[in-house]
Amino acid sequence: MKLWEQHCCLPLLPSANISELARYPSGSHVSVNVGYSPHSNAEATAMCADFRRKAIADGRFRMVDDNPNDNPNDDSITLAFDLEDSGPVEGDLANVEYFHGLGVRSMLPTYNFANAAGCGCLDTDDTGLTAYGRDLVAEMNRVGMLVDGSHCSVRTGLDLASTTKAPMIFSHSNFAALWQHPRNITDEQARECARTGGVVGVNGVGIFLGVNGATDADARVRAMADHIEYGVELLGIEHVGIGSDYSFDHEDFNAELAAHPEAFSEEYTRYGPLQWVPPEDVATLPSVLSDRGFDGDAIAAIHGGNFRRVNRIAEATGG
């Protein structure tokens, strides 16, 4: 089954192997991170150019701006980019449209800690979205870029929902009601996202699921299904999707935790090496959900239809 993967991570290095993304099913749509809080405009720009060049040369991929209507008869994997922090915008709102032109279709205002746009999920003092952050959201709406509340603080997430004029998303966030972690979102955040017409993408990161053992692969898939079920009961079938947050560079990411402790906290490091649900295991979710009573239409909505809808709305209302 074709998947709409709203967020995954390749190494943010020139050595990144774009062919790893072919592990997703043919015809899928995959959003790949191209930068977060430590990265400059120039560095994120270079990542966009490098990933695009490699994707075109590979031949199994096409860029989102090559076919924004997502032709369902094409087996190419469609690639979009996302930014996990507004830092690469460098305070210049014109850079929102600039990055949209490079293929960035969603962006988080903040990543874990406060910046000029607002607060992050690891901040102890949550003052929410700033005036600049509200201007940033307005510009993202204008150009057709999805506003993403993952990694943001509770108040910032709620402010995003009340500010945006288009559906917002939580691209890769699980439910705090099932597992208490500062990266997981409250029911209020989730409801406000749904009120905008948006979608919560359930991720497969072990520490956000509460299942981080190296031998717990099957349990992690079941935990993803638990969060999907919870989200559907809370919000309705049209507001839940998948943003697995899979890291194709496991060792590099765990090394990143050590190299950039200022971007993380003990809530990331005290569980041991992070574990993820890989694309091959995400592909088993339809079977798991079917066994739990989800019909074909519901599974198709979760597996891709919901994120496809909000992306089309954003593109139609922007620009």
Over residues 115-134, the pLDDT tens digits come to 999 999 999 999 999 999 99
- The two three-digit tokens of residue 315, written as one number: 């593109």
What element of type H or E holds 6?
A: strand 4-9
The Cα 144–Cα 253 span in angstroms is 30
- What backbone torsions phi and psi does residue 298 show, to the nearest 5 degrees? -65, -45
Distance CA 306, CA 300 (A): 8
Predicted confidence (pLDDT) per residue in 36-80, tens digit: 999 999 999 999 999 999 999 999 999 999 854 545 557 999 999
- pLDDT of residue 179 exceeding 50, the answer is yes
**233 Cβ partners below 8 Å, 6+ apart?**
none
CA neighbor of 10 nearest in space, from 65, 74, 62, 55: 55
**Entry pTM:** 0.95
Q: What kind of fold does domain 4-317 have according to CATH?
A: TIM Barrel (3.20.20)
Q: Which residues have C-beta within 8 Å of that of residue 293, sequence separation ≥ 6?
A: none
- Sorted by where each begins, the domain ranges of the chain are 4-317
